[in-house]
Structure 1
Amino acid sequence: MAAPETTPTAATTPPSTIELRAPSKYLTDKSQPATTSNTTFVSPPLDWVCRTWSVTHSTLPMWRSASNVRITYKPLAAPAGQATDNVDDLVEYEKKGSLKKVEGIDTPDPSTPGSWNWRGKGWLKIASSHWEVLGWGERPHADGVERWVVTWFAPTLFTKEGVDIYSDRKEGLSQDTLDQVMKALKGLDAAPKVVDFVSKDMLAVEIKLPWKTRGA
């Protein structure tokens, strides 16, 4: 899941075009990743990231048997006299009629813009992972705007590296936005391995509205 900077001036206006960068593991200079349009990648502001996102498409096999996968990011309060960009990370999904969750905390990784290190909470505290924002933005939609994010997650003991596509709309991305995101993913010349597994493994995550909620 990735490390948005708090308030970069260049990021106050979300991109309206779909541009992606390659994951840092494929870059020579991790500190200044370039996008598919040869512009310097800028991290999304933290307040833009902090909301609930529907995971609409993923290469992760575990989501094949789940539905209504969503991730909620919330800023964590800083200890007295300290600053923090740490984020509460709540993944919820529905499986076999029940609502399940995975909780963790994201800490910005200063080595690469838009990168985070995740650690689980509770019994998952021994688990950790690394994720990055490859692209983000807003596009006009009949209902106003649709926000989108593409994230990459590094391999762990339990999962291969992969890519997720997020939408701020419960029903998912418009077809045009999805088509352009997929085109950009397949244009990541700096990361041919990513292009390969996206082409082979990217599938839609089942969405069945309304979402199940706790206590319902």
Structure 2
Amino acid sequence: MDSNIVIHAPDSDGLDAFDLDAFTGKWHVTHSTLPLWKNKKNVTITYTPIPPTTTTGNPGPPTEPRKFHDLVEYLPKSASSSPDTKPTRIEGIDTVLGPSGARFKWRGKGWLVVASSKWQVIAHGDGWAVTYFEKTLFTPAGLDIYSRDGRGLEDAFVEELVAKVRGVGGGVGRLAEAFFKVELEEGGE
């Protein structure tokens, strides 16, 4: 794991070398401050790019900010983990905000189309990321720690990450005091 962890304050455009294409794909939420994950397990978020289009609808140089599909899947902690158990799905579209490419506006799909939120990657490295979510009408501000590995991250590394997030201070530092482990069952991808 990275030993040179740098956490960026929300709304900063200082995130170095953020590669949105490398960020897309499936992530496992291993730790969070968001209350909605307290009674959930096996939380994953999959980001899939939406090909850019021109004003004519044909492939070409993009005429609007980059977008991608955002699929959240999870099970209630009480759910059976048999392969027949279907996860709950929340779908949305993320639109890139700002020049860093690490800030986004999420808009729900289907009956959640009325819901939106802003979020951003405030730190990332090989196989891990830390995301910050702004407060909405439905949720408080919060932080998630992601892992590419379904088994999660090493405890010592998570402790270092949390300490660095606390070091940002302000509201983010206070949020970091509330990190809890999100249940991941063995054998994750």
Same fold (TM over 0.5): yes
Once the two structures are superposed, the pairs formed by residues 1-216 of structure 1 within 5 Å of their partners are 17-24=4-11, 30=12, 32-33=13-14, 41-79=15-53, 80=58, 81-83=60-62, 85-95=66-76, 96-97=78-79, 98-110=86-98, 113-138=101-126, 147-189=127-169, 192-199=170-177, 201-210=178-187
Report the TM-score when normalising by structure 2: 0.85
Greater shift in the superposed pair: 81-90 or 166-175: 81-90
Residues in 1 aligned to 2:61 and 2:90: alpha-carbon distance in whole angstroms = 27
Given that residues 131 and 144 in structure 2 are in contact (C-alpha distance below 8 angstroms), is that contact kept between their aligned partners in structure 1? yes
Structure 1 residues not aligned, in runs of 5+: 1-14, 25-29, 34-40, 139-146, 212-216
Residues in 2 aligned to 1:204 and 1:180: alpha-carbon distance in whole angstroms = 14
Report the TM-score when normalising by structure 1: 0.75
**TM-fit CA distance, 1:209:** 3.1
Could you tell me which amino acid in structure 1 is paired with residue 132 of structure 2?
A: W
Given that residues 24 and 49 in structure 2 are in contact (C-alpha distance below 8 angstroms), is that contact kept between their aligned partners in structure 1? yes
Residues in 2 aligned to 1:168 and 1:205: alpha-carbon distance in whole angstroms = 14
Q: Secondary structure at the match of 1:179?
A: helix
CA deviation string 1:93-124 (max 9, x = no partner): 01142510100010001166510000011111
Across the aligned residues of Structure 1 and Structure 2, the Cα RMSD in angstroms comes to 1.8
Given that residues 17 and 137 in structure 1 are in contact (C-alpha distance below 8 angstroms), is that contact kept between their aligned partners in structure 2? no
Number of matched pairs: 173
**TM-fit CA distance, 1:198:** 1.6
Residues in 2 aligned to 1:106 and 1:56: alpha-carbon distance in whole angstroms = 21
